[in-house]
Amino acid sequence: MKTKAPHDLETAGTRERIVRTASRLMQRQGYEGTGIKQISREAGATLGSVYHFFPGGKQELGTAAVRLGDEEFTELLRESLDAEPDPAKALVALTASLAQGLRESDWLDGCPVTSTVVGTAAGAPGIQQAAAEAFARWRAVVAEKLVVAGIAEADAEDLAHTVIATLEGAELASQVARSETPLEAAGRHLARLIATYGGSVRT
């Protein structure tokens, strides 16, 4: 998943730079592998500034990073689904876009929400809650698109769970394999699944 480029951070406010830097680092290194000092250094902010904006420390900053990842993927998801009336074709295009973003990042930039929350949920309830809300929001965006395409609401909600879970798994598989194949295959099979519900023309 693409994040704001480093040069774009130069014009951002201090708090935004800190959050975006934390999100990028946790996306690549995980929550446990990312320290406050590294975040402050790469964000061009003092430790005092970090704790000024995030008095709760790393967990509060991690929660903000997850919420940023949520916002960015929600925007990408909406744009991808709105660009194509047929949800099946839209998902094929979305998986291609995710694969391209991974390839361009040298397979480093997977899902910032998943990368941050894995291994932290038990000890960081704020991060876990933010991630749960992110997944719920993404499912709602997908379900809304499917209902508009003519799929029954109950089916659309079930399919939305499958779509988001499949995208997350396929993105991780592509990242590990350093290959676009898992994402591209996921897009094709999700399209076929949705077509069986009558919500699109078969691709």
DSSP-derived secondary structure for 33-101: T--HHHHHHHHT--HHHHHHH-TTTHHHHHHHHHHHHHHHHHHHHHHHHHT-SSHHHHHHHHHHHHHHH
* Residues in Cβ contact with 109 at an 8 Å cutoff, skipping those fewer than 6 apart: 1, 2, 3, 24, 27, 28, 101, 102
Q: Residue 95's pLDDT is what? A: 96
pLDDT in tens, the chain (203 residues): 554 444 455 546 999 999 999 999 999 998 989 999 999 999 999 999 999 999 999 999 999 999 999 999 999 999 999 999 999 999 999 999 999 999 999 999 988 899 888 867 567 888 999 999 999 999 999 999 999 999 999 999 999 999 999 999 999 999 999 999 999 999 999 999 999 997 544 43
Of all helices (H) and strands (E), which one includes residue 180?
none
Per-residue confidence (pLDDT) for residue 7, from 0 to 100: 44
Assign 107 to helix, strand or coil.
coil
The Cα 68–Cα 127 span in angstroms is 12
Return the ∠ at Cα 195 (arms to 191 and 201), rounded to 5°.
95
Phi, psi of 119 (to 5 degrees): 85, 0
Give residue 202's pLDDT. Answer: 40
Asked whether 128 and 121 are in contact (CB, 8 A), the reply is yes
Alpha-carbon gap, residue 186 to 4, rounded angstroms? 26
Q: CA 52, CA 132: separation in Å to the nearest integer?
A: 27
Please report, as a single letter, which amino acid is at residue 154: A
pLDDT of residue 20: 95
